[in-house]
Amino acid sequence: MSVPLVECIPNYSEARRLEVVEQIMAAIQSVGDVHILDRHSDMDHNRSVITYVGSPEGVVEAAFRSIKKAAELINLDEHTGAHPRIGATDVVPFVPISGITMADCIELARTLGKRVGSELGIPVYLYEEAATTPERQNLENIRKGQYELLKEEIGVKPERQPDFGPARVTPAGATVIGARAPLVAYNIYLTTNDISVAQKIAKAVRNSSGGLRYVKAMGVMVEGRAQVSMNLTNYRHTPIARVVEFVRREAARYGEAIHHCELVGLVPQEAMVDAAVWYTQLDEFEPAQILESRLYEVMGEVGTKEELLPDFLEQLASANATPGGGSAAAYTAAEGAALVSMVGRLTLGKKKYLNVETEISEMVMKADELGERLKLAVQEDAAAFDRYMAAARMPKDTIEQQQAREDALEKATVIAIKAPAVTARLAVQVMNLALTAVKYGNINAISDGASAAECAIAGFHSAVLNVRINLKNLKNPESVANILDEIDALKVIPGQISEQIADILAERAGIEL
């Protein structure tokens, strides 16, 4: 069982007063089991980003202490800077690293948000995976109009009602807290001081304006240069090199070029390797060709989730309790997503299917994304069960210990229910993509599309079984009533998908099931 490790990357609305930033960092470091990995301060943005890791409890405590310190030292009524903000501590994301699930990080976000709202009197909005409404998943929606507009609208407009804390702001503003996957914060400086050029390029590159799928961007002035400031929210599907070349071409339209680029905070090694492979045109490159990676593998020091998955069947067959049925459900549904992607790629570029290229392209993109999410779900389900077993091993010699153990078991059981519930939802999405593959995909791969649906259906049913079996251990089933209602509503979909696919197989390929 790996040690639970969480990354936290809070953003504070201060960079110009070094003593303030140092006091905030000291608040983080005052918690014993966290480690600061990086600090990035930008004077023009007037914003500091601090990256640290630690145990779940330590990371939450460090975040709370830093939010409290920032509220004492930063007055947004006096604050100016190029970067949008609504709070002294503007945004606090939690990122699962090892031995912990996204569901765990959502709970951490809610725990911290509730405490910040009640103890510090700061309004808290939950975002990304922790969002309570679809509109609040995107940080931009919450931060619309910045602190100045929030002051006017909070407590007046219902959509501004915070998830925790009072419906009013002090000069510390509000704080946005959430859970998300790793992202790359990447800025490109242009050879111009004309901010309008950066703004036009940002509009062209960002997803919300019709640009690249996983890019958020804005144009600002930094150090006398126009800058395209970006967050790449999925560097696997929208890699750094593609973003750089897009911006380079757009800049050339205005007679400008890229002056230099910068990273804000830390970046996954995989993202940099992909960029290096693209620019060096190493089409046959394999990650195992990196000396350090190969050394670590041989020495048994590290292994990525992607490297571990090929050994999944061996792990499943072992005497260990994890991975188990929940992980198998996610793995099987991931196979379905992979088959959908295969059908799509066998269809794209074929003259016979040009009329459905838009539908197939969208299908492939979604299938790839679901496959990545389901691979993560394999690990999350195993981690959830490990967490339950750790709670079961807690001491129970005294009444206090018994109560603590019972509370930990209840919380771990909820997580163990949420993990396969997520798999069930994802499996339904794979089923629908498989239906598209069978309906529009290459006729020579139609059976693969149908097989994709069967994998997704099997994954769904297995995930539901794991939800039900874990429910038996829950003392308070009402706490997951919404999950059970959702699962019950989804149960009719596999049968509907199977019937539709059977009809299409008969019509397109003459296959009778």
Q: Which two tokens stand for residue 217?
A: 């961007």
pLDDT over threshold 60, residue 6: yes
pLDDT at 2: 55
- CATH number of the domain residue 254 falls in: 3.30.70.670
What does each C-alpha distance from 452 to 19, 135, 434, 466 come to in angstroms?
57, 32, 6, 21
Query: Per the domain annotation, does 21 fall within a domain?
Result: yes
User: What confidence category does residue 307 fall into, taking pLDDT thresholds of 50, 70 and 90?
Assistant: very low
What average pLDDT does range 281-297 have in this prediction? Answer: 76
| Same domain as 53, residue 20 | yes
**Which pLDDT band, with edges at 50, 70 and 90, does 156 fall under?**
very high
Return the sign of the alpha-carbon dihedral for residues 248, 249, 253, 255.
positive
Residue 357, both tokens: 């290229």
Same domain for 234 and 160, yes or no, is: no
Task: Give CA–CA dist 103/330, Å, rounded.
Answer: 15
Q: What per-residue confidence (pLDDT) applies to 296? A: 64
The reply to whether 169 and 196 lie within a common domain is: no
Band the pLDDT of 484: cuts 50, 70, 90.
confident
Give the pLDDT band of residue 294 (cuts 50, 70, 90): low
Q: How far apart are CA 279 and CA 288, in angstroms?
A: 19
Total number of residues shown for the chain: 513
Looking at the fold, whether 393 and 260 belong to one and the same domain comes out as: no
CATH (domain of 132): 3.30.990.10
Nearest to 23 by CA among 12, 34, 32: 12
Number of other CB atoms surrounding residue 258 within 10 Å: 16
Candidates 85, 91, 108; CA nearest to 5 is 108
Note the pLDDT tens digit of each residue in 439-460. Answer: 999 999 999 999 999 999 999 9
122 in any annotated domain: yes
Q: Are 167 and 194 in a shared domain?
A: no
Q: Residue 229 domain-assigned?
A: yes
In a domain, 63, yes or no: yes
Nearest Cα to 321, choosing from 393, 376, 389? 389
Do 321 and 443 meet the contact criterion of CB atoms below 8 Å apart?
A: no
Tokens 């079961």 locate to 392
Structural domain ending residue among the three candidates 280, 297, 316: 280
Same domain, 240 and 362: no
Cα-Cα-Cα-Cα dihedral sign, residues 64, 66, 67, 69: positive
pLDDT confidence band for 305 (50 / 70 / 90): very low
Asked which of 158-172, 237-251, 323-337, 404-418 is least confident by mean pLDDT, the reply is 404-418
Residue 174 tokens read as 């509000």
For the ranges 167-181, 342-356, 379-393, the lowest mean pLDDT is seen at 379-393
Furthest CA-CA distance within the chain: 74
Name the band, by pLDDT with cuts 50, 70 and 90, for residue 286.
confident
pLDDT for the residue numbered 202? 97
- pLDDT recorded at residue 302: 42
**Average pLDDT over the chain, rounded to an integer:** 90
Is residue 319 domain-resident? yes
Q: pLDDT band at 288, cuts 50/70/90?
A: confident
3-state secondary structure of 35: strand
**Position 389 in a domain:** yes
Asked whether residue 203 falls in the same domain as residue 79, the answer is no
**Domain final position from 179, 200, 233:** 179
Residue 38 in 3-state DSSP? strand
pLDDT mean over 411-426: 90
How far, in Å, CA of 122 to CA of 13, rounded?
15
CA–CA separation, 269 vs 286, rounded Å? 14
Could you tell me if 39 and 79 lie in one domain? yes
Task: State how far the alpha carbon of 168 is from the alpha carbons of 67, 162, 165, in Å.
Answer: 17, 9, 9
Domain hosting 78: range is: 5-179
Q: Which pTM was predicted?
A: 0.59
Q: Which of 221, 189, 186, 172 is nearest to 49 (CA)?
A: 186
* Three-class secondary structure assignment of 258-310: EEEEEEECCCCHHHHHHHHHHHHCCCCCCHHHCHHHHHHHHHCCCCCHHHHHH
Distance separating alpha carbons of residues 425 and 78, to the nearest angstrom? 46
pLDDT bin (cut points 50, 70, 90) of residue 100 is confident
Based on its alpha-carbon atoms, the radius of gyration of the chain, rounded to whole angstroms, reads: 24
pLDDT at 282 over 90: no
Phi-psi region of 37 (alpha: psi -120 to 50; beta: other; left: phi over 0): alpha
Q: Which domain CATH number covers 451?
A: 1.20.120.680
| Total domains in the fold of the chain | 3
- Catalytic-residue membership of 83: yes
Tokens of 512: 């009778």
Domain end, chosen from 132, 152, 179, is at: 179
Strands 175-179 and 89-98 come out as: parallel
Q: Are residues 49 and 160 in the same domain?
A: yes
pLDDT, average across residues 30-54: 91
Residues 160 and 244 in one domain: no
Residue type, 187: N
> Which element (helix H / strand E) includes 221?
strand 215-222
Q: Where are the beta strands (DSSP E) in 113-183?
A: 124-128, 175-179
Residue tagged active-site, from 35, 83, 259, 461: 83
Same domain, 264 and 165: no
Residues 387 and 380: their CA atoms lie apart, in Å, by 10
pLDDT per position as a tens digit, 250-273? 999 999 999 999 998 888 888 999
Q: Is residue 439 part of a domain?
A: yes
Q: What is the 3-state secondary structure (H, E, C) of 223-252?
A: CCEEEEEEEECCCCCCCHHHHHHHHHHHHH
Q: Is the pLDDT of residue 343 over 70?
A: yes
Beta bridge partners of 224: none
Q: Is residue 301 part of a domain?
A: no
Q: What is the DSSP letter of 2?
A: P
- Domain check: are 401 and 323 in the same one? yes
Q: How confident is the model at residue 299 (pLDDT cuts 50, 70, 90)?
A: low
